[in-house]
Amino acid sequence: MTRSDTDGRNYDPNAAHAFPDERLNDVLETVTDDEEIQAYLEAQNVNPVTRKGYNDHGAKHVEIVRDRALCLYDLLKEQGVEFNGASEQGLNERDEPVIVALAATLHDIGHVVHRDDHPYYSIPLAADVLERFLPSFYETPDRVRLTGEILHAILCHHTEEEPLTLEAGVVRVADALDMERGRSRIPYERGGRGINTLSSQAIEGVTLTNEVDRVVVEIEMTDAAGVYQVDELLTAKLRESGLESHVRVVAINTHDGDDRLVERIEL
């Protein structure tokens, strides 16, 4: 399978990539079998979904964010973008996608404490997980440096914090790419009719592709309400991510009715 087969939506460990992927693939396989990590991914959905009625922040959300983070990273590497997180710590290129993948996996585990301010609760919890998980792959000096980079990316998926690395910027943007129709189905089915729910229902699909000089995130929507979702969620995450000059967002309204107010908008 190639990237074009998945439209930049799903990471395929068997595909050709623009980066060394052997270490990443070993890490991902271990994550899948890690009992503690999988328990967190289930438990972290209780506060946002069961208790507050928000949309999914559990295992499915993490899978989507991680896949799209790795696809975005791959496309950026294909563009020749140089990442700085691993390199400035004296780590190898093969460690860049590990930072991205593990930060995407653990970015929301703070929800087990509370939905509010969850990125800050994620830091100590993720640090404990990484202290146990990483020794299978890294010696102590590299483990310390890698942990710091992963925690930085976790913290900076929150728009209040400024990413200082492109690895962190990728995770931040990818967190907003889980926006397709039905991803707000829980509040919608409970009767929610706010702009967040309605705009999310208008998003039909998200694809990532490469153009000449940047990655294009194309948002297919069936109603102009989707513009709110794109602008308030995705462009807010892209802003100050460090990726502004490398990523272009295009929203396309595919609705054929006479009431179509927005046909195409670039953000």
Strand runs labelled E in the chain: 203-210, 215-221, 247-253, 264-266
Arithmetic mean of pLDDT, 153-168:
95
Would you state the pLDDT for residue 194? 67
Looking at per-residue pLDDT, the higher value among 103 and 178 belongs to: 103
- Give 225-246 pLDDT, tens digit per residue: 788 878 888 898 999 999 999 9
Tell me: pLDDT of 265 over 90.
Answer: no
Q: Are 229 and 249 in contact (CB under 8 A)?
A: no
**pTM > 0.85: yes or no:** yes
Which band of pLDDT confidence, cut at 50, 70 and 90, is reported for residue 2? very low
Whole-number Å distance between alpha carbons of 96 and 6: 22
Summarised one tens digit per residue, pLDDT across range 56-93 is: 899 999 999 999 999 999 999 999 999 999 999 999 99
Q: How far apart are the first and last CA of the chain?
A: 31
What band does 184 get if pLDDT is binned at 50, 70 and 90? low
Average pLDDT of the chain is 89
Domain count along the chain: 1
Query: By residue range, what is the domain housing residue 52?
Result: 3-266
- Integer Cα distance of 207 and 218 in angstroms: 5
Tens of pLDDT, residues 94-114: 999 999 999 999 999 999 999
Write the pLDDT tens digit of every residue in 3-18: 444 567 899 999 999 9
Determine what percent of the chain falls in helix, strand and coil, rounding each to the nearest 5: 55, 10, 35
